[in-house]
Structures are given as structure tokens and as C-alpha cells.
Amino acid sequence: MIWKIKKTLLALLLSFNALAEPRATGDLGFVIEREDSAALIVNTTHHAQLARIEGLGDLSHASVVFSRDQRYAYVFGRDGGLSKIDLLQDKLAQRIVQGGNSIGGAISQDGKLIAVSNYEPGGVKVFAADTLELVADIPTEYAPGKRSKVVGLVDAPGQKFVFSLFDAGEIWTLDMKNPQKPAVEKFKNIGKEPYDALMSPEGRFYIAGLFGESGLALLDLWDTAAGIKRILPNYGKEDDKLPVYKMPHLEGWAMAGDVLFAPAIGKHEVLVIDKRNWTLLKTIPVIGQPVFVMARPDARQVWVNFAMPDNNHLQIIDVKDLKVNATLTPGKAVLHMEFTPRGEQVWAALRDDNQLVVYDTANLQEVMRLPARHPNGIFFSARAHKIGL
């Protein structure tokens, strides 16, 4: 009798599993709820919240990367936390606190290593993606007893990471092809106070923005022997700068064909730079101080959000005409944007409205809104297959 009951229960369980729809990971997203130490797992096709993950620490400057199979999200918290989220089982799989103050990280080309950039104690730590065990510790000591804050950490081809030293004014590359023997190459005197950086989509050019002086610093990873090239060293040098209420985020810079769009620090402008010779083509006036300047995947549009007091606006630049062709006012405190993989929609986080808003990028019409508690960053799993994100 007991055997028959067990057999019936097993049959019911197998029947339920057969009816349950398996979850694919290609259209998943991860939304940071900064005030609650939590994040949402969302489905970008159906505009649905699937789960809420708690216990993620200080997320005031959180960023996220994805495993190459798109099953896991790795969250870098400001408190030095590194959290591994299982997107299929809707749970926090593992969490460590690896530093005192962290601002970001990256995943290696083969997906086996996670690198974290630290303000405190200053340096880069590299962990095994599967176990979060420490693989390498790279202190950024630039003078006896002095370590630099690390910014602008990105992955690069050849199992490398590239990052900038804010205090030292340097760029370092970290070669992890042999995890037992990490190889560091240092480029000094790149300019004062690099504060963030971007990697070009093909993984060739690393560009660091400079807060302490005018211009940008460029490293060509195809020709590192050429050293650092300074871009736009005289732009705005003699002009009075406006107060900077929020630093631009350079991983949100936009490369569209042969043109680079970048936020101007302390100015209400977007810079248009010719990538072929790294000269300034023009500046595009915008409504406020740009923070993120992001290209739609087909490179036809560039979407811009702003620091306070203009952070209730979005502006859209037409790349063909190189001018703003639309202004949207979605709500209070637009903090971040993310395009769906082929760019038909864009999601925006409205921190002070506790909402996510989705727009159709063709007609700029609102598609829908979803609730979220003080949302900050939005990260879609398609990032797993992009260099430098």
C-alpha cells in the first residue's frame, strides 16, 4: 500500500515537472534596489518580475556581470561584497566580502575569473567564478606605503583586465592567462585623476576620462608599445566649468560606427569624437550635465540621462543628424538605462518614483511601468557576450 502511494506521488511530481515551463536565461535582467540591499530578477520579453533577492549589502554603487551561460549574475557592492546569484533558482548562491570599498568588477574572456576593483585597501582581487576562491591579489602600490583607488576595471581579449589608478594617474593591464603567474604592465603619467573608463566594443581601445585635467587617455591594446595617447587635451581648458553633482559613468559612453559620444564633465554638452583620428567633430548641447550616454544597439540613437537638478529628463540624439531630436520626462531621478539586446526597447530606472519605465525606441512611446523600490542599475543577461561590460 505504501509503495503504491509513493508511486502515485512520484507520478504526480513528474507530471508537474513536465508541465512546468523551463526558464531560458537569454531574456533575463537584474535590477538593483539600492536602498534595500536587494535586486529583482526580471523577464525582459514579458516585462515581468520573477523574483526578489535580498541580503546583498551596500548597493549604492553596484554593478553586475553575467556568466557566459547566463545562469549566474555577479554583483559588486560598495561594501566590498561579491555576490553570486543563481538566475534559475532565484537565490543567492554565495556571497563574500573581499574588500572594504569596492566600485565594480569584470568577468574574464573565458568566464572562469571574476576581477574586483577596490578603493580600500586599493587594488584588484581575482576570484574563481565557480567557487569565489581567491586566485590573485594585485595591490596598486604606486609609492612606498601608498595604494591607489582602482577605477575603470574592464575585461579585455586575451584573458586580460585593464584598469586605472585614480591617485597615481596610471593605467595597468593584468594578464591572467596563467592564473598562478599574473602579469602586470604599467603605464604611468597618463594624466591627473582618471575616474572611469570604457573599452571599445571590439576590445581594442581602452579610454580613461580625466577629472583632474582636460582630456582623455587612450591605450591601444593592439599596440601597447606605443604607450598612452592623449585625446582632446585642450577641450574646455580655458572655460569655466559648472558644478559636477554626479560623475559621468564612462562605461555608458556610446560608440556608434566611427563616432564616439562622451559626456562633457562640468558642461551641458555631449562630445562627438571621430574614432579614426580621435579629434573632436562637434559638441551637442543638452539639457543638463550628462551622466550616461548610451547607444542603441543599431547605433542609430544615443540616449542621455542627467545629474540633478535635471535628472527627471531623457534626451535622444539622432546619430545621422548629430542633434537632439526628442526630450522625455519619465519621472523622478532617472538613474540608469538598458537596451534590450536588439534595441527595440529601453528600460529606465526611476529611483524616486519607485518604478521602471519601458519605452519603444522606434516611436518613443511608453510601453509600460513596473514597480521597484528605489531602482538604480539595470543589467540584462545579454551583457554576458559583450566585451568590456
Residue 10 and residue 200: Cα distance in Å, rounded?
53
Residue 18 and residue 26: Cα distance in Å, rounded?
21
| Amino acid, res. 51 | A
pLDDT over 70 at 27, yes or no? yes
The reported pLDDT for the residue numbered 239 is 63
| Amino acid, res. 193 | E
The reported pLDDT for the residue numbered 214 is 86
Q: Kindly report, residue by residue over 118-162, the tens digit of the pLDDT.
A: 999 999 999 999 999 999 999 999 999 999 999 999 999 999 999
Residue with cell 537569454: 26
CB 187 within 8 A of CB 164: no
Residue 374 and residue 166: Cα distance in Å, rounded?
29
Q: Kindly report, residue by residue over 296-343, the tens digit of the pLDDT.
A: 999 999 999 999 999 999 999 999 999 999 999 999 999 999 999 999
Its sign, for the CA torsion 26, 27, 28, 33, is positive
- Return the number of other C-beta atoms located less than 10 Å from residue 252's C-beta: 23
Nearby residues of 275 by Cβ (< 8 Å), 6 or more positions away? 200, 205, 255, 258, 259, 260
Q: What is the end-to-end Cα distance of the chain in Å, rounded?
A: 58
- Return the number of other C-beta atoms located less than 10 Å from residue 13's C-beta: 10
- DSSP characters over 242-288: PP-SS---GGG-EEETTEEEEEPTTSSEEEEEETTTTEEEEEEE-SS
Grid coordinates belonging to 337: 538605462
Q: Which residues pair with 290 in a beta bridge?
A: 306
Q: What does the CA dihedral 284, 190, 207, 101 come to, rounded to 10 degrees?
A: -110
Query: What are the structural domain ranges in the chain?
Result: 61-238
Peptide bond preceding 371 in cis form (omega within 30 of 0): no
Grid coordinates belonging to 41: 530578477
**Size (the chain), residues:** 389
Identify which has the larger pLDDT, 86 or 5: 86
Instruction: Report H helices in the chain.
Output: 2-19
Residue 231 and residue 241: Cα distance in Å, rounded?
19
CB 220 within 8 A of CB 227: no
Model confidence pTM above 0.85: yes
Residue 194 and residue 117: Cα distance in Å, rounded?
14
- CATH fold of the domain at 61-238: Methylamine Dehydrogenase; Chain H (2.130.10)
Q: Which residues pair with 270 in a beta bridge?
A: 263, 284
Residue 209 and residue 203: Cα distance in Å, rounded?
17
pLDDT over 70 at 242, yes or no? no
Residue 289 and residue 305: Cα distance in Å, rounded?
8
Residue with cell 526578489: 52
pLDDT over 60 at 6, yes or no? no
